[in-house]
Each structure stands twice: as structure tokens, then as C-alpha cells.
Amino acid sequence: MSLQNVVSGLLLGGMLALIGMGFSLVWGILNIVNLAHAPTIMFGAYITYYFYEGLHIDPFLALPITMGILAIFGFLLQQFLINRIIKSTLLITFLLTFGLEVMFVNLGRLIFSGVPRTVKTDYDSASFSFLSAEVSFKKLAGLGIALILTFLLYLFMSRTKIGNAIRATSMDLNAAKLMGINIANIYTVTYAISAALAGAAGALLSTWNSFTPDEFGKYNIRAFAVVVLGGLGSIPGALIGGLAFGFISEIIGGLTIGSGLDAFTLSPWKEGILFLSLVLVLIIRPQGLMGKEGYR
């Protein structure tokens, strides 16, 4: 394994962690496998694209605005739709988010069309050499943002009253109700945070590759793998799971020239090897690398 593989795996892992973090929050706390996560990433990418093309706002400067818009979107979606069936079975909520995914993707096709879009900045190809590895500035910045957001979210969960209420709800729902916590509000805040994180992932991904509304479904699969590998409901677990999955993906993708950092989609047999590796890890440690311990 070369130094370039290590660097590429680290950069890819940071992005995967950001993709998986919001997914992990909703699954771990609301007990919803949220298939609407990928379309939310899609909206983040397109909002960033139109900010750049229409208003000439740099993608990294537009990041907080994109996160804010999608936090409001997530807040409204949870408050007025998902909260209405939140007490239903996992299958019902799964079907709801599946329906939302289909609706949002088709809405994306209608509004954005199927023409590939990308955010091309002046520093798009800027990089520097680190020993024998080439490091892209924008992807390094993406890793830095993923680490910062992970740290801020961890502080929010552990140092604020709302964060503690979210943790309490995830640990014991009935005890949280007895303590006077408004569960519906907690679910809404949690979903809004998840949507904001998905928006950040979409904003950064828009600078990586070209995209159309049909190409975001794969991020649900990647987020699912990151959450299972890192541990359900764990913020540090999402980071560790993303990095681990990034390294595994890079090792497998790096077996041939042309795959790796820019390819979230591997060839079928490499996908098979990738997820077989995931199964082997889970056989050894079924609760994932961090389990629930990450919140405590």
C-alpha cells in the first residue's frame, strides 16, 4: 500500500464520515432508516452549484448557508410529516422515506434536468506534494470540515441541554418522557441537524465530481455501510467508520489504475470485495467499531 493510497483513503474517509454522520443520527435516535438522506445530499449539491453559478459565491463560503437552508428543510419535513408516523413500525417509516426519496429524485429531474453539473473553481486542480503523495487542496479542506463538524457535533451533544436531551432520548425513551423532555421537538431538532450535515456533504461533493439527480442513491448505501461499521448512533463511530471504509475502499479501488478517490462507484466485483470486508469486520465486532459508547 503506497503513501498515495493512505492519503487518498484518508481524504475519501473524511467525506464518507460526513455522509454517514447525519444518517447515523436519525437511525440511532429516531430509529428510522432514512432513505431521504441521499436526496438531501443532492439538494445540498445543487444549492451550492446555483450559488456559485448565479451569485459567484465560493462553495466553501456557501457551506453555512446551504447547511442552514437544509436544516430548515429537515425541520419542516420532520415537524409536519415524519413526526406524524414516528410511532409506527420501522417498516412503515422505511417505506415513507423510500417514497420521499423517489419523489425528491423525480422532483430533481424535473427542476434540475439530467444535464451533468459540477462546480469548477479556479483552485480546482490545486494540489501540493507530500513526500511521494499528491494532495488536493479542496479535498484536504473537505477533510478538515468533516473533522470540525464532527468535533462541533460532539461538543453539542455532550455540553448543551438539547444535546443531553437527545442523548437521553436515544438511551431510554420512556425515562426521557418522565423527565419532561418533549420527544417530538427532540426528533425535529435531530432531523434538522442530520439534514444540515447532509447539505454540507452535498456542498463538498459538488466540487469533487459532476452530478445529476440520479447519481446520489449510492450515498445511502455508503452511509449505511459507514454507520454499521462505525456503530449505530455514535458520532465518533461515524468518523472512524468513514475513515475505515475509506481506507478499505481505497485499497480495493487502488488495485487497478483509474479507480479510488474520485470513484464512489467501484466495479461490481470490487463492490463485492468491499462489502465482504465489511461483513468480516462485523463478524469479529457485531456492534461496530464504536457501538453506542461514542455518545458517553
275 band by pLDDT with thresholds 50, 70 and 90: confident
Which tens digits make up the pLDDT trace of 175-204?
A: 888 888 999 999 999 999 999 999 999 999
Other beta carbons within 10 angstroms of residue 74's beta carbon come to 28
Give the angle 119-123-128 at the CA atoms, nearest 5°: 130
Residue 260 confidence (pLDDT) above 60: no
For residues 228-264, one letter each, b for 16 or more C-beta atoms within 10 angstroms of the residue's C-beta and e for the rest, the string is bbbbbbbbbbbbbbbbbbbbbbbbbbbeeeebbbeeb
C-beta of residue 17 within 8 angstroms of C-beta of residue 242: yes
Give the pLDDT of residue 259: 44
292 band by pLDDT with thresholds 50, 70 and 90: low
- What is the SS3 assignment for 179? coil
Enumerate long-range contacts of 147-150, CB under 8 Å, 24 or more apart: 147/14, 147/239, 149/18, 149/21, 149/197, 149/200, 150/17, 150/21, 150/235, 150/236, 150/238, 150/239
Give the pLDDT of residue 57: 93
Which tens digits make up the pLDDT trace of 107-152?
A: 999 999 889 998 888 888 778 887 877 888 888 888 899 889 988 9
More confident residue, 280 or 68: 68
250 band by pLDDT with thresholds 50, 70 and 90: confident
Residues of the chain by 3-state class (helix, strand, coil), percent to 5: 75, 5, 25
* % of the chain residues with pLDDT over 90: 36
Mean pLDDT of the chain: 84
Q: Rounded to an integer, what is the distance from CA 41 to the centroid of its chain?
A: 8
For residues 51-66, one letter each, b for 16 or more C-beta atoms within 10 angstroms of the residue's C-beta and e for the rest, the string is bbeeeebebbebbeeb
Which tens digits make up the pLDDT trace of 82-94?
A: 988 888 888 899 9
Euclidean distance between CA atoms 153 and 238, whole angstroms: 12
291 band by pLDDT with thresholds 50, 70 and 90: low
pTM for the model: 0.87
Task: For residues 20-26, give the mean pLDDT.
Answer: 89
Name which of 100-109, 158-167, 257-266 the model is least confident about: 257-266
Give the pLDDT of residue 231: 75
